[in-house]
Structure 1
Amino acid sequence: MKYCCADHVELALDEAVDEFELAPRLTKLEAVDKSMFPCGYCGQPAIYIVANE
């Protein structure tokens, strides 16, 4: 599972597909959640969760 901002969502999707060889689930975070989770690539507030679970 990766948290990511809008700028890095494509990178997170590509990495998930490469790692698991399955299409990942993309979930948009609610407004209250955004400030609690930083992007795993740049540290900005995350907008999406990319997961294969």
Structure 2
Amino acid sequence: MSEMRLYCCFEHIELAFEEVIEEYEQAPNFEKLEDKHKLSTRCVYCSNPADYLVTN
């Protein structure tokens, strides 16, 4: 299986968690993005600046 990488804002972190759990049936890993990454990285759900990276 390939790695799932979802960038998301705080508002959509639950959606990202659910998507990883549904796809891989395991708890996701997540990390808060550093400020320097927030400027260019967007939430996959709403296009606002991403706050977190959620992976399987």
TM-score, normalization by structure 2: 0.90
TM-score between the two structures when normalised by the length of structure 1: 0.94
1:26 matches 2:33? no
Measure, in 2, the Cα distance between the counterparts of 1:48 and 1:34.
9
- The runs of 5 or more residues in structure 1 that have no matched partner are none
**Unaligned residue ranges in structure 2 (runs of 5+):** none
Which of 44, 48, 52 is the equivalent residue of 2:52?
48
Matched residues, percent identical? Answer: 46
- Tell me how far apart the structure 1 counterparts of residues 33 and 49 of structure 2 sit (CA, whole Å): 10
C-alpha separation in 2, matches of 1:45 and 1:7: 11
How big is the alpha-carbon RMSD for the aligned residues of Structure 1 and Structure 2? 0.5
Please identify runs of 4+ aligned residues in structure 1 that moved more than 4 A: none
